[in-house]
């Protein structure tokens, strides 16, 4: 067992000190701000120009439609949430899919006809008020799902977070397997149909602005997304807003007192504890906040798909999200967004498009979607071996991963 | 094992060792007690069923044990959970199936002697081949990361697991593979209504010598001594003139050979396909943790316990959750172990347990 030892001497230039000073002075990099604003504007307008892009020769076939973009954004949001746990706090979570599932099923319970014995409506849109079941407004449900998942995260975290590193990874993996199995077998919990078993729960209500707002704006804002002509667009804009909120929270959290405590724990748990950081509480917060975004994303995605199905929640999703975080760069928000969008694209339609292209143009009969997880595995291994800091490295992580956290070994026991 | 001075070592180890049991230990003991009561009631209600399921559990536990040993060996020396191990196991079983059927052309009509010879030959070939495969995996994926933060090789191992799984998928596609029933499923001998089928017996006949050999290797040979030394302290062993890289390679070779043996034994009883290794690997890993990861006899003990629990859960009739819940049950045990007794049944306390 190798002891964790102190990282190298902190450097003055560009390290935490400089970064922090700049932030504390309240200086905002105007160029960075402009780039962010431009990216947001380009993203907001995407539904208006993607069709032109799709007509461009060569790359046109690879441009994702708006519906695919929604899925990519949802996955990106989860990746940013996972990044809080794995990237900031350095807790390897292999069961993030459990939070995704918990969020999706919250939406399924509180915005569908699952519980037919009750009838309760609160802000439901686009459905008859006579419909049985619990029907809360999706906006409320999304928030509830986040809070519920947060509670699940704390429940999972409390007994397990005192374990370190790989043991924690295994326990989270365990929960990531138990919760989907519970969902699959939960159609008979002591005679009560909680999850409707392998069939899943569907339909789930749609988000929307309701009759009052819709009428007031002359139907500019749709009453219900699913019944709107611009269904995909509205889901896209909502997903985009959710991602932006997630990213904003994530960045603010990173620079907060809590975020710096997370990074301190990641770098050296013993030293952090010695400096007076409460380990358990800090880690539990990382877990809870990471879980929150997973739950929100799960609930929104369930509402987009209008259903929650147990087959969607399996271990591979956790690894897929982890792969996004690693490809983008552990701890680096912008990197994770990039990683999430790239891998999300490959997952939703990229690999299928490449497969078709290979088939048509090169005559190679190779279906990349079949081997998608092998491809993700390969990406993980290659990134870890050759660019452990990811596509867009986080400055602090870069130093840690490139210089290593341990002392150099004696007599070349490594290469 | 550092036992506190003056205190007799209790059979419960740290659980009850000399101090007043805390509430955590009490809950843990209560859980174990409940399981025991459940088993005893079942044994009295349906004794013959209980006995037959016991035999199934024993055979399953033997296979899990071989895989669990692979996890424990690697963890003992590198503190790395080699996620790819379960998939190496599955791939070895698949390769064994095509070796037996296509290369050797064995089927049930062959004479007994040639079947036995064929299986022994397969064992040797597959164990050798997958020893090499495992060494290759270490060389390519883990060696460069030996001084990286601890999560780096773990993440790489997850990636490797998917790669190996997809290699199996590419070569063998999604169909289940099996071999003809060479070894009859009829009872070798019976005791009352409890029978021990030939194929279960064969599993035990192969497992026991493998375990004896492994124990001998680790405890009595120079290479085994080197392995134990490297597991304790890499730097110090390097200073004592031990070739650390070679020792680690040997460890991976041993683990790969064990996975190969387990793959064949599994194949002789069940069907397998490319993703068989994922679930079985997790079960075996749980077994290794249950017994105390890094501890060889612990891995076997844990594997037998898990084998029994799985068999009892799926086979017994009185308040058994059934196979739908096997995965949850196994992971529930894993989580319970990590919470109540992180060092495992036979393991020593490590910083991991906190």
CA angle A192, A307, A48 (to 5 degrees): 160
- Asked if the Cβ–Cβ distance from B335 to A166 is below 8 Å, we say no
**Helix (H/G/I), strand (E/B), else coil: B285:** helix
Buried b (16+ CB within 10 A) or exposed e, B181-205: ebbeeeeeeeeeebbbbbbbbbbee
Q: Tell me, yes or no, whether A58 lies in a domain.
A: no
Please name the residue that has the structure tokens 């009883």: B269
Q: What is the dihedral of CA B63, B65, B71, B76, to 10 degrees?
A: -160
The minimum CA-CA distance between A346 and chain B, rounded to whole Å, is 17
The C-alpha atoms of residue A390 and residue A335 are separated, in whole angstroms, by: 7
Query: Which of A173, A384, A401 lies at the smallest CB-CB distance from B156?
Result: A384
Q: Looking at beta carbons, which residues of chain B come within 8 Å of A186?
A: none
| 3-class SS shares of chain B: helix, strand, coil, % to 5 | 75, 5, 25
Residue ranges of the alpha helices (H) in B1-111?
23-45, 47-78, 84-98
Length of chain B: 354
Q: Tell me, yes or no, whether A153 lies in a domain.
A: yes
DSSP letters along A202-240, please? --BPPP--HHHHHHHTTTSS-S-TTTSTTHHHHHHHHHH
Q: How many domains does chain A have?
A: 1
Cβ–Cβ under 8 Å, residues A376 and A320: yes
For position B121, which CATH number holds?
1.10.3470
- Asked if the Cβ–Cβ distance from A410 to B239 is below 8 Å, we say yes
- Asked if the Cβ–Cβ distance from B352 to A165 is below 8 Å, we say yes
- Asked if the Cβ–Cβ distance from B352 to A163 is below 8 Å, we say yes
Q: Tell me, yes or no, whether A37 lies in a domain.
A: no
The C-alpha atoms of residue B295 and residue B241 are separated, in whole angstroms, by: 25
Q: Tell me, yes or no, whether A222 lies in a domain.
A: yes
Q: Tell me, yes or no, whether A193 lies in a domain.
A: yes
Q: Tell me, yes or no, whether B9 lies in a domain.
A: no
Taking the CB of residue A259, how many other CB atoms lie within 10 A of it? 21
Length of chain A: 415
ipTM associated with this complex: 0.83
Please list the rounded mean pLDDT of every run of 10 residues in chain B (354 residues): 40 46 74 83 79 86 92 89 93 93 80 85 94 94 85 89 93 87 73 76 86 89 91 90 93 94 90 88 88 85 90 77 79 81 71 39
Query: Which of A1, A377, A415 lies at the smallest CB-CB distance from B160?
Result: A377
Q: Tell me, yes or no, whether A408 lies in a domain.
A: no
Q: Which contacts (CB < 8 Å, 24+ apart) does range A6-11 have?
A: A6/A268, A6/A271, A7/A267, A7/A268, A7/A399, A7/A400, A7/A403, A7/A405, A8/A399, A8/A403, A11/A399
Cβ–Cβ under 8 Å, residues B330 and A173: no
The minimum CA-CA distance between A349 and chain B, rounded to whole Å, is 20
The minimum CA-CA distance between B189 and chain A, rounded to whole Å, is 39
Tell me chain A's radius of gyration from C-alpha atoms.
23
Distant-in-sequence, close-in-space partners of A225: CB < 8 Å, separation ≥ 6: A206, A207, A208, A231, A234, A235, A238
* Partners of A189 in the β-ladder: A192
Query: Which of B80, B169, B352 lies at the smallest CB-CB distance from A371?
Result: B169
Mutation for testing the B interface, residue in A171, A188, A329, A377 having most B CBs under 10 Å: A377
Per-residue confidence (pLDDT) for residue A410, from 0 to 100: 39
The C-alpha atoms of residue A79 and residue A320 are separated, in whole angstroms, by: 9
Which residue of chain B has the CA closest to A386?
B144
Closest to B197 in 3D by CA, of B43, B52, B309:
B52
- Asked if the Cβ–Cβ distance from B169 to A370 is below 8 Å, we say yes
Q: Looking at beta carbons, which residues of chain A come within 8 Å of B324?
A: 181, 184-185
pTM beyond 0.90 = no
Q: Tell me, yes or no, whether B270 lies in a domain.
A: yes
What angle in degrees, to the nearest 10, is found between the helix axes of B244-269 and B198-220?
Answer: 170
Please list the rounded mean pLDDT of every run of 10 residues in chain A (415 residues): 42 49 59 86 85 79 87 94 91 90 90 78 75 83 93 84 75 84 78 77 81 75 78 89 93 91 88 90 91 94 88 87 90 92 90 85 82 91 88 70 49 40
Q: Looking at beta carbons, which residues of chain A come within 8 Å of B288?
A: none
Query: Which of B165, B332, B352 lies at the smallest CB-CB distance from A164?
Result: B352
**Helix (H/G/I), strand (E/B), else coil: B243:** coil
Q: Looking at beta carbons, which residues of chain B come within 8 Å of A413?
A: 146, 234-235, 238, 244-245
β-strands A133-136, A119-122 pairing: parallel
- Asked if the Cβ–Cβ distance from B156 to A381 is below 8 Å, we say yes
Per-residue confidence (pLDDT) for residue B178, from 0 to 100: 85
Print the domain residue range for A75.
68-313
Cβ–Cβ under 8 Å, residues A300 and A239: yes
Query: Which of B150, B328, B335 lies at the smallest CB-CB distance from A166?
Result: B150
Distances (CA, A) of A187 to A194, A196, A298: 5, 4, 20
Per-residue confidence (pLDDT) for residue B7, from 0 to 100: 41
Taking the CB of residue B347, how many other CB atoms lie within 10 A of it? 26
The C-alpha atoms of residue B122 and residue B115 are separated, in whole angstroms, by: 10
Structure token digits, residue B282: 């997790």
- Asked if the Cβ–Cβ distance from B149 to A401 is below 8 Å, we say yes
Query: Which of B166, B282, B354 lies at the smallest CB-CB distance from A163?
Result: B354
The minimum CA-CA distance between A115 and chain B, rounded to whole Å, is 24
What angle in degrees, to the nearest 10, is found between the helix axes of B151-172 and A165-185?
Answer: 50
- Asked if the Cβ–Cβ distance from A378 to B159 is below 8 Å, we say yes
The C-alpha atoms of residue A299 and residue A111 are separated, in whole angstroms, by: 10
Sign of the CA dihedral with A352 first, then A355, A361, and A365 last: negative
Q: Tell me, yes or no, whether B31 lies in a domain.
A: no
* Partners of A119 in the β-ladder: A133
- Asked if the Cβ–Cβ distance from B154 to A381 is below 8 Å, we say no
Provide the CA B307 distance to its chain's centre, in angstroms. Answer: 10
The C-alpha atoms of residue A82 and residue A324 are separated, in whole angstroms, by: 10
The minimum CA-CA distance between A186 and chain B, rounded to whole Å, is 11
- Asked if the Cβ–Cβ distance from A415 to B234 is below 8 Å, we say no
- Asked if the Cβ–Cβ distance from B332 to A177 is below 8 Å, we say no
Per-residue confidence (pLDDT) for residue A163, from 0 to 100: 74
Q: Tell me, yes or no, whether A134 lies in a domain.
A: yes
Per-residue confidence (pLDDT) for residue A402, from 0 to 100: 57
* Partners of A112 in the β-ladder: A204
Per-residue confidence (pLDDT) for residue A398, from 0 to 100: 59
What tens digit of pLDDT does each residue of B192-205 get? 777 777 878 888 88
Q: Looking at beta carbons, which residues of chain B come within 8 Å of A178?
A: 327-328, 331-332
Q: How many domains does chain B have?
A: 1
- Asked if the Cβ–Cβ distance from B239 to A162 is below 8 Å, we say no
Print the domain residue range for B70.
48-353
A116 φ, ψ to 5°?
Answer: -70, -15
- Asked if the Cβ–Cβ distance from B162 to A178 is below 8 Å, we say no
Classify burial at A188, counting beta carbons within 10 Å of its beta carbon; exposed 0-12, middle 13-18, buried 19 or more. exposed
- Asked if the Cβ–Cβ distance from A404 to B155 is below 8 Å, we say no
Which residue of chain A has the CA closest to B152?
A384
Q: Tell me, yes or no, whether A252 lies in a domain.
A: yes
The C-alpha atoms of residue A315 and residue A175 are separated, in whole angstroms, by: 10
Per-residue confidence (pLDDT) for residue A165, from 0 to 100: 67
- Asked if the Cβ–Cβ distance from B162 to A380 is below 8 Å, we say yes
- Asked if the Cβ–Cβ distance from B159 to A381 is below 8 Å, we say yes
The C-alpha atoms of residue A301 and residue A287 are separated, in whole angstroms, by: 21
The minimum CA-CA distance between A62 and chain B, rounded to whole Å, is 25
Per-residue confidence (pLDDT) for residue A25, from 0 to 100: 53
What tens digit of pLDDT does each residue of B257-312 get? 999 999 999 998 888 988 888 888 888 988 988 888 888 888 899 999 999 888 88
- Asked if the Cβ–Cβ distance from A178 to B166 is below 8 Å, we say no
The minimum CA-CA distance between A411 and chain B, rounded to whole Å, is 7
What tens digit of pLDDT does each residue of B159-186 get? 999 999 999 999 998 889 888 877 777 7
The C-alpha atoms of residue B139 and residue B156 are separated, in whole angstroms, by: 12
Instruction: List strand residue ranges (DSSP E) for B246-343, in order.
Output: none
Number of inter-chain CB pairs under 8 A, A vs B:
165
Of chain A, the end-to-end C-alpha distance in Å amounts to: 19
The C-alpha atoms of residue B107 and residue B180 are separated, in whole angstroms, by: 6
Cβ–Cβ under 8 Å, residues A405 and A267: yes
């Amino acid at each position: 067992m190798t002891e964790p030892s102190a990282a190298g001497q902190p450097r003055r230039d560009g390290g935490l000190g400089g970064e922090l000073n700049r932030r504390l002075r309240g200086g905002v990099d105007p160029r960075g701000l402009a780039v962010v604003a431009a990216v947001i504007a380009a993203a907001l307008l995407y539904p208006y120009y993607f069709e032109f892009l799709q007509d461009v020769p060569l790359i046109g076939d690879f441009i994702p439609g708006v519906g695919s973009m929604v899925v990519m954004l949802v996955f990106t949001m989860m990746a940013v949430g996972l990044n809080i746990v794995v990237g900031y706090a350095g807790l390897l979570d292999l069961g993030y899919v459990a939070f995704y599932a918990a969020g999706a099923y919250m939406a399924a319970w509180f915005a569908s006809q699952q519980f037919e014995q009750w009838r309760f409506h609160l802000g439901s849109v686009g459905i008859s008020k006579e419909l049985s079941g619990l029907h809360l407004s999706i906006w409320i449900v999304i928030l509830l799902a986040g809070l519920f998942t947060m509670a699940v995260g704390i429940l999972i975290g409390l007994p397990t977070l005192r374990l370190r590193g790989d043991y924690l990874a295994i326990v989270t993996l365990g929960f990531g397997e138990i919760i989907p199995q519970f969902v699959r077998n939960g159609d008979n919990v002591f005679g009560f149909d909680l999850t409707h078993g392998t069939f899943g729960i569907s339909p789930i209500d749609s988000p929307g602005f309701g009759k009052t707002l819709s009428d007031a704006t002359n139907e500019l804002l749709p009453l219900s997304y699913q019944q709107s002509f611009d269904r995909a667009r509205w889901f896209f804009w909502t997903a985009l807003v959710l991602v932006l909120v997630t990213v904003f929270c994530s960045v603010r959290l990173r620079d907060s007192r809590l975020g710096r405590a997370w990074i301190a724990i990641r770098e050296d748990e013993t030293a952090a504890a010695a400096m007076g950081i409460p380990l358990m509480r800090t880690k539990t917060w990382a877990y809870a906040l990471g879980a929150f975004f997973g739950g929100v994303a799960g609930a929104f995605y369930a509402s987009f798909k209008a259903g929650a199905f147990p087959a969607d929640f399996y271990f591979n999703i956790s690894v897929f999200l982890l792969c996004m975080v690693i490809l983008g760069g552990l701890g680096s928000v912008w990197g994770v967004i990039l990683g999430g969008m790239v891998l999300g694209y490959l997952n939703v339609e990229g690999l299928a498009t490449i497969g078709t292209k290979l088939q048509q143009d090169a005559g190679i009969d190779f279906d990349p979607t079949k081997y998608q997880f092998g491809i993700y595995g390969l990406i993980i291994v290659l990134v870890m071996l050759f660019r452990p800091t990811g596509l867009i490295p986080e400055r602090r992580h870069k130093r840690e991963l490139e210089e290593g956290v341990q002392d150099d070994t004696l007599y070349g026991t490594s290469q | 094992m550092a036992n506190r001075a003056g205190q007799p070592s209790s059979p419960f180890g740290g659980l009850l060792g000399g101090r007043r049991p805390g509430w955590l230990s009490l809950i843990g003991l209560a859980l174990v007690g409940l399981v025991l009561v459940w088993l005893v009631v079942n044994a009295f209600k349906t004794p013959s069923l209980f006995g037959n399921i016991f035999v199934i559990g024993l055979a399953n536990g033997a296979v899990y044990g071989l895989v669990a040993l692979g996890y424990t060996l690697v963890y003992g020396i590198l503190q790395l959970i080699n996620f790819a191990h379960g998939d190496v196991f599955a791939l070895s079983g698949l390769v064994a199936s095509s070796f037996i059927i296509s290369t050797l052309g064995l089927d049930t009509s062959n004479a007994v002697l040639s079947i036995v010879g064929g299986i022994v030959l397969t064992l040797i070939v597959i164990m050798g081949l997958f020893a090499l495969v495992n060494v290759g995996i270490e060389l390519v994926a883990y060696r460069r990361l030996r001084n990286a933060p601890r999560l780096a090789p773990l993440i790489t191992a997850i990636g490797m697991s998917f790669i190996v799984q997809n290699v199996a998928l590419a070569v063998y596609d999604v169909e289940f593979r099996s071999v003809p029933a060479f070894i009859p499923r009829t009872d070798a001998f019976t005791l009352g209504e409890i029978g021990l089928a030939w194929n279960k017996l064969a599993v035990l006949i192969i497992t026991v010598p493998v375990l004896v050999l492994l124990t001998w290797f680790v405890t009595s040979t120079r290479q085994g001594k080197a392995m134990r030394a490297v597991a304790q302290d890499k730097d110090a062993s390097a200073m004592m003139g031990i070739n650390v890289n070679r020792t680690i390679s040997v460890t991976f070779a041993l683990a790969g050979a064990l996975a190969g043996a387990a793959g064949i034994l599994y194949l002789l009883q069940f069907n397998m396909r490319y993703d068989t290794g994922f679930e079985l690997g997790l079960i075996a890993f749980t077994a290794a943790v249950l017994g105390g990861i890094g501890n060889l006899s612990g891995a076997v003990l844990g594997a037998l316990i898990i084998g029994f629990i799985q068999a009892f859960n799926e086979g017994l009739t009185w308040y058994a959750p059934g196979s739908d819940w096997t995965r949850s049950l196994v992971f529930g045990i894993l989580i319970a172990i990590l919470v109540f007794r992180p060092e495992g049944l036979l393991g020593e306390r490590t910083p991991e347990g906190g």
